[in-house]
Amino acid sequence: MLDSRTREIVKSTVPLLEAANTALTEHFYKRMFRDNPELKDVFNLSNQASGRQPAALFNAVLAYAKNIDNPAVLASAVERIAQKHTGFAITPSQYDIVGHHLLETIKELAPDAATPEVIDAWAQAYGALAGLFIGREEQIYQESEQKTGGWRGYRDFVVAEKQAESTLITSFLLVPTDGGEVLDFLPGQYLNLHLVSPKLAHNEYRQYSLCQAPNGQNYRIAVKREPNGVASNFMHDEVQVGDTLQVLPPSGDFFMEVSTDTPVVLISGGVGQTPMRAMLDQLIKHKHTADIHWLHACEDGTQHAFQADIQALRQANSNLTTHVWYRTPGEHDQPAEHYHTQGFMDLNQLKDGISNANTHYYFCGPLPFMAMVKETLSGWGIADDRLHYEVFGPHESL
């Protein structure tokens, strides 16, 4: 428990943090990778290059400083980060490295303000936060290990199937090489891969959405090829049926848990449909009785993954309704057969059918897309506790 003086000092540094902005975390990562280059095998360097990871860390540090009197308001953020960390096999000793470089960064960027009292306060504050993460992550590790089909650390899986679902998205069916059961997961969660290959400059950890309901036997993930994506291009170009991958247990704080009589709307843009695919599979598998709406937007038919699967499910389940938007349909894309509406998704078209008072909404896709969805649904008066969304990569607020 931090004393009042320590909390007061940390809060007093908020203006300093705000003035530094992401320069603080950019400097932090540069010095950490300089002195501890082994961590390049842990951190996603693509997110470093794009600036998303420094921004996410800065926002987390600033939020902690601002709310240090009431850390309970950060509980959801702590859970989200802890879930991510278990997918990177983070250990307590790595928190010591991060803490060292954070304090040194403060000293180097603000030498006049970084008095011994300030550094000591931040050391205590960081230690308290690290303790929260270490404790929660150990709980997650133990839970994953102790459940049926569970394990801790790396487990070898063989690629049993590799299926092109669209021009950009490929799915992989992974089966454990030991022939044992696999841990169940909550639809919406992701699987954690540790990619090791001479063809990669560094080992890579990646999280890919699970896109079928849990079955205790195998996992199916979907991977979108990104133009400059080191891991996604490796998965598409190099990983083949019969190859073995190192897999860590499923995790993630975005998931669906609803009763069978709860109306559900699944909203996706592009590759955002991958966690929705697992949710839909779960709803159908458990004979969901309430209405299910599958709403999806993508560029055209060539980028429309799982199209045949969804059509087959719609035909077999009277409570499932689908609506698809193509921004620019191709010459082979037929209205009513492949898509319903041309242009960008407009939920107002469907408001009367999807704004039931008990409905829960799950959505995923590019940030601007999700911001539009949230703004629209909030504008209808939908309560925040019925809006659930996932941001791929480092978290950002909508």
The SS3 call for residue 30 is: helix
Compute the distance between CA of residue 118 and CA of residue 115 in angstroms, rounded to an integer. 5
Q: Is 361 annotated as a binding residue?
A: no
DSSP annotation string for 268-307? EEGGGHHHHHHHHHHHHHTT--S-EEEEEEESSGGG-TTH
Compute the distance between CA of residue 298 and CA of residue 270 in angstroms, rounded to an integer. 5
- 133, 127 contact by CB (below 8 A): no
Q: Is 190 annotated as a binding residue?
A: yes
Could you tell me the two tokens for 260? Answer: 């069978």
Q: How many CB atoms lie within 10 A of CB 232?
A: 22
Residue from 323, 306, 153 nearest 222 by CA: 306
Compute the distance between CA of residue 204 and CA of residue 45 in angstroms, rounded to an integer. 9
Q: Is 274 annotated as a binding residue?
A: yes
Compute the distance between CA of residue 29 and CA of residue 23 in angstroms, rounded to an integer. 10
Active-site amino acid positions = 95, 137
Q: Is 395 annotated as a binding residue?
A: no
Compute the distance between CA of residue 365 and CA of residue 280 in angstroms, rounded to an integer. 16
Could you tell me the two tokens for 363? Answer: 């959505």
Residue with tokens 């087959």: 312
Q: Is 206 annotated as a binding residue?
A: yes
Q: Is 42 annotated as a binding residue?
A: no
Q: Is 209 annotated as a binding residue?
A: yes
Q: Is 293 annotated as a binding residue?
A: no
Task: Region of 34 please: left (phi>0), alpha (psi -120 to 50) or beta.
Answer: alpha
385 secondary structure, DSSP code: G
Compute the distance between CA of residue 370 and CA of residue 125 in angstroms, rounded to an integer. 34
- 379, 273 contact by CB (below 8 A): no
Q: Is 270 annotated as a binding residue?
A: yes
Q: Is 353 annotated as a binding residue?
A: no
What is the H or E stretch that residue 159 is in? strand 155-164
Q: Is 394 annotated as a binding residue?
A: yes
- 247, 181 contact by CB (below 8 A): no
Binding residue ranges for NADP(+)? 270-275
Annotated binding site for FAD: 190, 206-209, 391-394
Q: Residues annotated in the binding site, as ranges?
A: 85, 190, 206-209, 270-275, 391-394
**Residues annotated within a binding site for heme b:** 85
